[in-house]
């Protein structure tokens, strides 16, 4: 906690810029990229999902740009819901995709909100997926369903996964360990576990004991 994990995501999205150093995307400093284009190519699912009052269908299409929203049919929305493991939940509501979610998703459970957020990201089709503690507030059953949906959404995309739970982090191709705002270790799960006094190994052993 407090290591700077969420800050990395905020820097990538240019919510603010680094005081020193730079963030590069495909070899280019993101300061040289159009910020609207940059953010349109980053899909974020966080622990605290923001949903506006509207129907489920409107919620899923919300992240697409205006011209894209007009061209999206119900089949596209259903396909995105399928990837997000949300289709069964949505179709169980009496009004289906026309069900209202309430202000900030007040009429939905935490797991339902997360799955709609994933469907929203899938439909917008970003090149980069940023997952910031996306399952940490869920119960075990909801977490399993949402984690499966996130794995599907990540296919074919560069995915940055911010996590405390190391069972989630170990799926990554490369793991970075942050401490006091600095990257102290980087490698695969297997490489980092071989470090006798490594920070990552210590975290894993602490969680296993717990």
67 band by pLDDT with thresholds 50, 70 and 90:
low
Give the pLDDT score at 68: 60
SS3 61: helix
Q: Tell me the pLDDT tens digit for each residue of 136-167.
A: 767 777 778 778 888 888 888 999 988 877 77
Structure tokens at 16: 């603010």
Buried b (16+ CB within 10 A) or exposed e, 4-16: ebebbbebbbeee
Give the pLDDT score at 171: 79
69 band by pLDDT with thresholds 50, 70 and 90:
low
**Mean pLDDT, rounded, for 18-41:** 93
Instruction: Assign 3-class secondary structure to 15-52.
Output: CCCCCCCCCEECCEEHHHCCHHHHHHCEEEEECCCCCC
Predicted confidence (pLDDT) at residue 96 exceeds the cutoff of 90: yes
Predicted confidence (pLDDT) at residue 72 exceeds the cutoff of 80: no
Structure tokens at 200: 């990552």
- Read off the pTM: 0.82
Of the listed ranges 6-10, 66-70, 114-118, 120-124, the least confidently predicted one is 66-70
Residue count of the chain: 210
144 or 205, greater pLDDT: 205
Q: What is the mean pLDDT of the chain?
A: 87
* Backbone dihedral region for residue 27 (phi beyond 0: left; psi -120 to 50: alpha; all else: beta): left
């Amino acid at each position: 906690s407090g290591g700077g994990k969420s800050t990395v995501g905020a820097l990538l999205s240019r919510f603010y810029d680094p005081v020193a150093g730079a963030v590069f995307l495909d070899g280019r400093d993101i300061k040289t990229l159009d910020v609207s284009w940059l953010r349109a190519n980053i899909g974020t699912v966080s622990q605290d999902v923001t949903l506006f009052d509207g129907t489920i269908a409107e919620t899923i299409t919300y992240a697409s740009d205006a011209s894209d929203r007009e061209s999206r049919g119900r089949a596209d929305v259903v396909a995105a819901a399928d990837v997000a493991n949300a289709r069964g939940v949505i179709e169980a509501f009496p009004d289906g995709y026309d069900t209202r979610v309430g202000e900030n998703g007040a009429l939905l459970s935490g797991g339902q909100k997360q799955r709609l957020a994933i469907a929203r990201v899938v439909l917008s089709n970003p090149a980069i997926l940023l997952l910031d503690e996306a399952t940490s507030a869920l119960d075990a059953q909801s977490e399993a369903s949402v984690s499966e949906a996130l794995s599907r959404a990540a296919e074919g995309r560069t995915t940055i996964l911010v996590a405390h739970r190391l069972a989630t982090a170990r799926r990554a191709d490369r793991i970075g360990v942050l401490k006091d705002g600095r990257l102290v270790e980087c490698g695969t799960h297997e490489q980092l576990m071989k470090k006798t006094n490594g920070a990552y190994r210590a975290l894993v052993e602490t969680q296993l004991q717990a």
